[in-house]
C-alpha cells in the first residue's frame, strides 16, 4: 500500500496552507470537524490556535448524515468576505461536492483531512480560495501514517510553536483512529508521538495490552478488552474469569497496569496477549489517563451525546454518566464478539462470510461489532465479512462490510470499497466506504444473488 510517499510535496502543501492562513489575517473563522475522537481532538487544536491568535471563531461538528450542500447551507454566512476563513479538519475530502460550493464564495477554505478523496486530484480544478492539505494524495495511509489530529497538529504548530503543549490532544486523535498499539505507529504519527514524548507532554508505559480496560482490574481487563478480544474469556461471566485467575494465583482485583512480569507470563501461557507500549496522559485522572480508552470514550459519546464528548476532552476526570455509557458499550461489544465468534450461524463461500445478526445484535451495534471482529480476526481473515440483516422499516438488507489487512495483501490492495462498487454496478443498492470498512443497503432479491455470486466479484 505504501506507494511513492512524496514527503516534500505534502510538506509543501502544508507550508502553503500555513502561509495563506497567516497572510490572510482573518477576522472571523469557522471550524468544522468530524464527530469522532480524532475530529474532536482536531477541533480542540484549532480552537487553541484561534484563541492564541485572538481570532473570533465558531465551530460545528459534521456527522456526514447529510450532503455538504445541505449542511453548509445552514452555516455559510450570507455576507461573504475574504477576511472569513473556514477550517475543515478530519472531514472535507468530498471535493466533488465541495469545489462547486467553494467556487462561488469569496471566503477562504482550509481543508486538513486524511480521508481518501472521492475524485482523482488530477481531475480537480482547485479554486484559489481553497487551501487543500491531504497526505493521502501523496501516497500516505490515512490510518497508519497520519491521523487527522496529526495533520492538524502539524498545521497549528507551524503557526504557534507553543501549541506543542497541547500535543496530548493529538495522541487521543491518533489512538482513536489507528486502533493499534503505539508500537505500530508509522511515519508522521510516529514522529509526532515521539516529539510529544520527548517534550514530556505525555508518558509512554509498558505492560500487558488489554485495550478497552487498561485502567481496570485484571478480571475486567480480560472480560472487556476489545483489542485484543480474548477469545477464551472476552464477554464471559465473572465466575469463569475469577476461576481462571485463581488457578494462576493472580488477585482478580489487581489493576492491569500493576501486574508484574511473572504474572503477565502466566497469563500469556494460556492466552495470546502481547506486552506493548501505551500512551499515558499524566495530567488527567482515572480512565482518561489512558489514551486509547480516552479516545474510545469520546467515540462512544459522539454517538450518544455530542456535547458530552466535546466537554469530556477538557475534563480531568470522566463523569459517572460517561463511565456508565462506556461500560454499557464495552459490555455489549464484547458479548457481541463472543456471540459472533462462537454461536451465530454463518454462511461461507471461498471468499466471503455472511452473518445474519438481525434480532441478535441491535442494528446500532452492527458497524462496531463488524469492525472489531475484523481487527481481532475472529473469523477467517482471508474472507470478506458481510454482517447485517433485514431492516424492519425499509424492508431492505443492511450490511456492514469489513476485511482484514491480510485480505487486502492477498487481493492486490482491493478491499471493501472496490467490492462495494462492483456489487452496486451488478446488483444495485446504495453504499460506500474505505479499503477496510464500508456498508451497503440492498433489496432482498439482490442480497440473495450476492450471496450465491460473491466469489465471482473478485
Rule CB under 5 A: which residues touch Mn ion?
A: 38, 90, 148, 177
* Shortest separation between residue 261's beta carbon and Mn ion, angstroms: 35
Residue of 81, 269, 4, 291 lying closest to 169 (CA atoms)? 291
In the complex with Mn ion, which residue's Cβ is closer, 65 or 237? 65
Host H or E run for residue 19: helix 7-23
* Shortest separation between residue 177's beta carbon and Mn ion, angstroms: 4
Measured CA to CA, the distance from residue 420 to residue 272 in angstroms comes to 33
Measured CA to CA, the distance from residue 294 to residue 313 in angstroms comes to 8
In the complex with Mn ion, which residue's Cβ is closer, 38 or 141? 38
Sign of CA dihedral 240, 245, 249, 250: negative
Helix ranges (DSSP H) in 255-403: 261-270, 291-304, 306-312, 320-342, 366-375
Alpha-carbon dihedral of residues 122, 124, 127, 131, nearest 10 degrees? -60
- Contacts of residue 392, defined as CB under 8 A and 6 or more positions apart, other chains included, come to none
In the complex with Mn ion, which residue's Cβ is closer, 81 or 187? 187
* Shortest separation between residue 171's beta carbon and Mn ion, angstroms: 14
In the complex with Mn ion, which residue's Cβ is closer, 149 or 250? 149
Residue of 342, 345, 340, 392 lying closest to 365 (CA atoms)? 340
Measured CA to CA, the distance from residue 133 to residue 130 in angstroms comes to 10
Cβ neighbours, 10 Å, residue 3:
6
In the complex with Mn ion, which residue's Cβ is closer, 150 or 225? 150
* Shortest separation between residue 135's beta carbon and Mn ion, angstroms: 12
In the complex with Mn ion, which residue's Cβ is closer, 38 or 144? 38
* Shortest separation between residue 136's beta carbon and Mn ion, angstroms: 11
Measured CA to CA, the distance from residue 408 to residue 435 in angstroms comes to 8
In the complex with Mn ion, which residue's Cβ is closer, 175 or 454? 175
**8 Å CB contact between 278 and 293:** no
SS3 category, 411:
coil
* Shortest separation between residue 90's beta carbon and Mn ion, angstroms: 4
In the complex with Mn ion, which residue's Cβ is closer, 170 or 225? 170
Q: Return the CA Rg of the chain.
A: 23
- Contacts of residue 432, defined as CB under 8 A and 6 or more positions apart, other chains included, come to 417, 420, 438, 439
* Residue of minimal Cβ distance to Mn ion: 38
Cβ neighbours, 10 Å, residue 25:
10
**8 Å CB contact between 33 and 39:** yes
* Shortest separation between residue 35's beta carbon and Mn ion, angstroms: 11
In the complex with Mn ion, which residue's Cβ is closer, 91 or 403? 91
Amino acid at each position: 500500500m505504501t506507494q511513492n510517499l512524496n514527503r516534500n510535496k505534502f510538506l509543501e502543501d502544508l507550508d502553503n496552507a500555513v502561509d495563506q492562513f497567516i497572510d490572510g489575517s482573518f477576522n472571523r473563522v469557522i471550524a468544522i470537524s468530524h464527530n469522532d475522537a480524532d475530529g474532536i481532538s482536531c477541533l480542540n487544536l484549532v480552537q487553541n490556535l484561534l484563541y492564541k491568535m485572538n481570532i473570533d471563531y465558531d465551530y460545528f461538528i459534521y456527522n456526514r448524515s447529510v450532503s455538504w450542500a445541505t449542511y453548509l447551507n445552514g452555516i455559510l454566512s450570507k455576507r461573504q468576505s475574504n477576511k472569513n476563513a473556514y477550517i475543515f479538519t478530519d472531514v472535507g475530502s468530498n471535493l466533488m461536492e465541495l469545489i462547486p460550493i467553494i467556487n462561488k464564495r469569496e471566503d477562504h477554505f482550509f481543508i486538513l483531512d486524511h480521508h481518501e478523496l472521492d475524485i482523482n486530484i488530477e481531475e480537480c480544478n482547485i479554486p484559489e480560495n481553497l487551501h487543500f492539505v491531504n497526505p493521502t494524495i501523496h501516497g500516505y495511509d490515512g490510518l497508519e501514517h497520519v491521523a487527522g489530529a496529526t495533520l492538524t497538529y502539524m498545521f497549528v504548530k507551524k503557526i504557534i510553536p507553543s501549541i506543542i503543549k497541547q500535543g496530548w490532544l493529538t495522541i487521543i486523535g491518533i489512538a482513536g483512529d489507528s486502533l493499534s498499539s503505539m508500537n505500530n505507529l508509522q511515519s508522521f504519527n510516529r514522529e509526532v508521538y515521539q516529539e510529544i514524548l520527548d517534550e514530556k507532554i505525555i508518558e509512554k508505559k509498558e505492560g500487558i495490552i488489554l485495550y478497552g480496560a487498561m485502567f481496570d482490574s485484571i478480571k475486567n481487563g480480560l472480560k472487556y478488552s476489545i483489542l485484543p478480544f480474548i477469545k477464551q474469556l472476552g464477554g464471559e461471566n465473572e465466575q469463569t474469569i475469577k476461576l481462571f485467575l485463581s488457578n494462576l494465583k493472580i488477585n482478580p482485583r489487581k489493576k492491569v497496569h500493576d501486574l508484574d512480569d511473572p504474572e503477565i507470563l502466566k497469563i500469556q501461557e494460556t492466552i495470546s496477549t502481547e506486552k506493548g507500549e501505551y500512551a499515558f496522559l499524566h495530567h488527567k485522572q482515572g480512565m482518561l489517563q489512558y489514551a486509547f480508552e480516552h479516545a474510545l470514550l469520546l467515540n462512544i459519546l459522539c454517538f450518544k451525546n455530542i456535547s458530552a464528548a466535546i466537554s469530556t476532552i477538557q475534563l480531568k476526570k470522566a463523569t459517572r454518566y460517561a463511565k456508565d455509557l462506556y461500560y454499557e458499550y464495552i459490555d455489549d461489544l464484547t458479548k457481541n464478539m463472543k456471540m459472533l465468534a462462537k454461536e451465530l450461524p454463518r454462511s461461507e463461500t471461498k471468499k466471503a462470510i455472511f452473518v445474519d445478526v438481525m434480532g441478535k445484535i441491535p442494528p446500532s451495534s452492527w458497524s462496531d461489532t463488524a469492525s472489531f471482529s475484523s481487527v481481532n480476526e475472529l473469523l477467517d481473515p482471508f474472507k470478506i465479512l458481510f454482517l447485517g440483516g433485514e431492516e424492519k422499516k425499509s424492508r431492505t438488507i443492511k450490511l456492514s462490510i469489513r476485511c482484514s489487512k491480510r485480505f487486502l495483501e492477498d487481493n492486490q490492495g482491493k478491499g471493501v470499497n472496490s467490492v462495494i462498487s462492483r456489487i452496486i454496478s451488478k446488483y444495485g443498492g446504495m453504499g460506500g466506504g474505505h479499503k477496510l470498512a464500508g456498508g451497503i443497503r440492498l433489496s432482498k432479491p439482490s442480497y440473495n444473488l450476492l450471496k450465491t455470486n460473491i466469489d465471482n466479484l473478485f
